[in-house]
């Protein structure tokens, strides 16, 4: 999931100072799990705006904020409230905000959140970064643990000289990623993989912007 956190009140109000009325768009997926785009978060932002003398013309928590077409359809029922707002505030990740920009080409659209990373929720609203979206996954060779993301140096072939008592030299709070990989490989009887040397990453596969269609999608649609 995409992890987001709310911008500070000061930053939000600085962005909003030119406008008097707002329509709020949340997201029922990642941003809801993060507590940054659910109904409670929207109610809190509405109260903050009203305290500053501003108006909220309406709000919606669409199914998936970054699904541009679906969100556009859901917004149809609220078109008057959207039209009445000076600006749109999107309470999701940066991708959801950019759906808002596409849906409202003639209106200012602002994010209420900072988009942090792709991660896992390990306990309620506790998040760990697990994948850096490198475009060339190698965790089939590293016991399912990503050294690019979990090792602050992104080392591909075993620990650096700074590892101490199994912990990372960059932060003693975290276990060395390569100790985790070793322990995992040992547990699943695949320690032999530790002998394989991983080649340097091909970072061209991470080059932005990416665009992708599901390769089998067109074929299936044509057959139907």
- Is residue 180 within 8 A of residue 105, CB to CB? The reply is no
Contact with ligand SF4 (CB under 6 A) among 151, 181, 182, 185? 151
Smallest distance, ligand SF4 to C-beta of residue 88, A:
32
Considering only 3-11, 92-100, 153-161, 181-189, which stretch makes contact with ligand SF4 by CB under 6 A?
153-161
Only one of the segments 35-43, 82-90, 101-109, 151-159 lies at the binding site for ligand SF4 (rule: CB under 6 A); that segment is: 151-159
Verify binding: residue 198, ligand SF4, rule CB under 6 A. no
**How far separated are the first and last CA of the chain, in Å rounded?**
32
> Which residue, 211 or 224, is less far from ligand SF4 as judged by CB?
211
- If the CB atoms of residues 73 and 133 are measured against ligand SF4, the closer one turns out to be 133
Cα(188)–Cα(128) distance, integer angstroms: 23
Nearer to ligand SF4, 107 or 175 (CB): 175
Residues 176-195 that bind ligand SF4 (CB under 6 A): 176-178
Using the rule CB under 6 A, which residue among 37, 65, 111, 159 binds ligand SF4? 159
Out of 122, 162, 203, 218, the only residue in the binding site for ligand SF4 (CB under 6 A) is 162
Nearest residue (CB) to ligand SF4, 5 versus 144: 144
HEC string for the chain: CEEEEECCHHHHHHHHCCCCEEEEECCCCHHHHCCCCCHHHHHHHHHHHHHCCCEEEEEECCCCCCCHHHHHHHHHHHHHHHHHCCEEEECCCHHHHHHHHHHCCCCCEEECEEEEEEEEEEECCEEEEEECCCCCCCCCCCCCCCHHHHCCCCCCCCCCCCCECCECCCCCCCECHHHHHHHHHHHCCCHHHHHCCCCCCCHHHHCCCCCCCCCCHHHHHHHC
State the minimum distance, in angstroms, from the CB of residue 156 to ligand SF4: 9
Among 1, 116, 131, 198, binds ligand SF4 (CB under 6 A): 131
CB 171 to ligand SF4: min, Å: 8
- The site for ligand SF4 (CB under 6 A) is made up of 131-134, 137-139, 146, 148-149, 151-153, 155, 159-160, 162-163, 168-170, 176-178
């Amino acid at each position: 999931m995409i992890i987001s956190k709310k911008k500070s009140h000061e930053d939000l109000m600085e962005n909003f100072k030119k406008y008097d009325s707002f329509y709020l768009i949340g997201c029922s997926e990642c941003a809801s799990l993060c507590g940054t785009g659910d109904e409670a978060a929207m109610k809190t932002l509405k109260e903050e705006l009203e305290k500053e003398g501003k108006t909220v013309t309406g709000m919606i928590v669409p199914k998936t904020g970054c699904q541009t077409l679906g969100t556009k359809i859901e917004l149809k029922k609220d078109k008057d409230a959207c039209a009445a707002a000076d600006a749109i505030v999107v309470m999701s990740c940066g991708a959801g905000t950019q759906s808002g920009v596409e849906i409202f080409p003639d209106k200012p659209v602002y994010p209420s959140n900072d988009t942090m990373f792709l991660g896992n929720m390990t306990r309620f609203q506790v998040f760990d970064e697990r994948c850096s979206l490198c475009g060339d996954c190698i965790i089939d060779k590293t016991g399912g643990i990503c050294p690019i993301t979990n090792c602050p140096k992104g080392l591909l072939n075993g620990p650096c000289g700074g590892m101490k008592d199994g912990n990372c030299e960059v932060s003693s709070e975290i276990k060395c990623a390569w100790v985790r990989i070793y322990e995992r490989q040992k547990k699943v009887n695949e320690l032999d993989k530790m002998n394989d040397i991983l080649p340097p990453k091909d970072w061209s596969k991470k080059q932005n912007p990416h665009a992708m269609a599901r390769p089998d999608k067109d074929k299936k649609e044509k057959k139907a």
